[in-house]
Amino acid sequence: MTVVAKSTRPKVVDVARHAGVSTATVSRVLNNNPRVDPEIAERVRASLSELGYRMNSVARSLRRQSNSVVGVIVPDIANPFFTDVVRGIGDALRDDGYMLMLCNSDDDTDLEASYLRLLSAQQVSGVIVAPADSLRSDLTELTSTGVPVVVIDRLAGTGDFDSVVFDNRTGAAQLTARFVEAGRRRIAHIAGPERTFTGSARREGYLEALAAAGIATDGALIVDSDYSEEGGYRAVRELLASSTPPDAIVIANNAMTLGAIRALTELDVDPETIALASFDPVPWSTSQRYSLVVLDHETMRMGTEAAALLVARIGEPSREPEIRRLSAGTVAVFAD
């Protein structure tokens, strides 16, 4: 028989009135402050649930000057690599009571910058960012206002930030060496943009492995591309147009690998004549026609490590910045 009251959210002051105590006491109960009479605490808790009290975190954040939100900026949420990383971050941070504010920079530095500003305005506790470019300058805006930042996947400028990256050079060298051991000699590389951290490191690893094996570098076997599916597609068509086509290709990321496979399929290249190697997870891939090995980074781990670094920095803002290099990873045979 209760009258349906205008459903306005009860506030601490309402609870206080209902329980016959002050707002301070209610707040103490809400925050499990032990300095409160158990009996009164019980009464407050009763009022709390009777009135259906729901905390207003905005008010709390304003007063506490801190938030339980962490911003995450990735270049492309549709890329399984970043999806995995985000999952890792989310799972790890949930345990510490943080929520994620996810932003998709689309590899656009301006958009990224605007998200950084927005996140900073939201007073987030910290930001984890996979930079669209090597944009040290923009990140300093955050750090200068004291927002903890962790950079992932690609390093930004010098080592002033906590970072988590893979050992891309060694990884690329591993993949390349694998081909060498298998007797391949015309090993091509579809490279990521030279200006990107991962692109240049992977290229270096490839070159290094060739040098170590005493195989001469052939400029025609290195195609600069842009990490896109379409880029991989075009690169393969370019490589195969040669009179002396490659017998193996080390491809710098997963999207380009898909494009490469599409091109091979379209050109109906004999699977026997070519082998592929790629970086990053391609969990939804089901190609079984062409030989493909991928570097199995522990992708989610990049997320959990980043989360750990961020939590550490939030707890101790003056820590020395730390760069964690995750080992190159094991080679996973995807199709052979």
Partner DNA sequence: AGCATCCATGAAATCGATTACTTGCTCTCT
Partner DNA sequence: AGAGAGCAAGTAATCGATTTCATGGATGCT
**Interface ranges with DNA (CB under 7 A):** 9, 11-13, 20-28, 30-31, 35-37, 40, 53, 55-56, 59-60, 62-65
**Using CB atoms within 10 A of its CB, is residue 14 exposed (0-12), middle (13-18) or buried (19+)?**
middle
Shortest separation between residue 160's beta carbon and a copy of itself, angstroms: 15
First to last CA, the chain: 71
Tokens found for residue 59: 């008010």
| Residue 21 binds which entry of a copy of itself, DNA, none, CB below 5-8 Å type-dependent | DNA
From residue 206, give the alpha-carbon distance in Å to each of 37, 81, 250. Answer: 68, 21, 8
Q: Contact at 8 Å (CB) between 149 and 164?
A: no
38 or 97, CB closer to a copy of itself?
97
| Residue placing its CB nearer to a copy of itself in the complex, 99 or 314 | 99
Q: Which residue has the tokens 């710098």?
A: 252
| Interacting residue ranges for a copy of itself, rule: CB under 8 A | 7, 9, 54-59, 61-62, 67, 69, 77-78, 80, 83-84, 86-87, 90, 99-104, 115, 117-118, 120-123, 144-146, 254, 258, 261-262, 265, 282-289
What's the CA gap between 153 and 250, in Å, rounded? 19
The 3-state DSSP class for residue 31 equals coil
| Neighbour tally for 251: CB within 10 Å | 31
Residue 219 contact partner, candidates a copy of itself, DNA, none, CB within 5 to 8 A by sort of partner: none
* Minimum distance of DNA from residue 315's CB (angstroms): 16
| 200 contact, one of DNA, a copy of itself, none, CB 5-8 Å limit per kind | none
Q: For residues 297 and 328, give the distance between their C-alpha atoms in angstroms, rounded to a whole number.
A: 7
Closer to a copy of itself at the Cβ: 115 or 166?
115
Name the binder of 243 from DNA, a copy of itself, none, CB < 5-8 A by kind.
none
Residue 266, C-beta contacts closer than 8 angstroms, at least 6 positions apart: none
Q: Which is nearer to DNA, 37 or 50 (CB)?
A: 37
Closer Cβ to DNA, 121 or 241, answer by number:
121
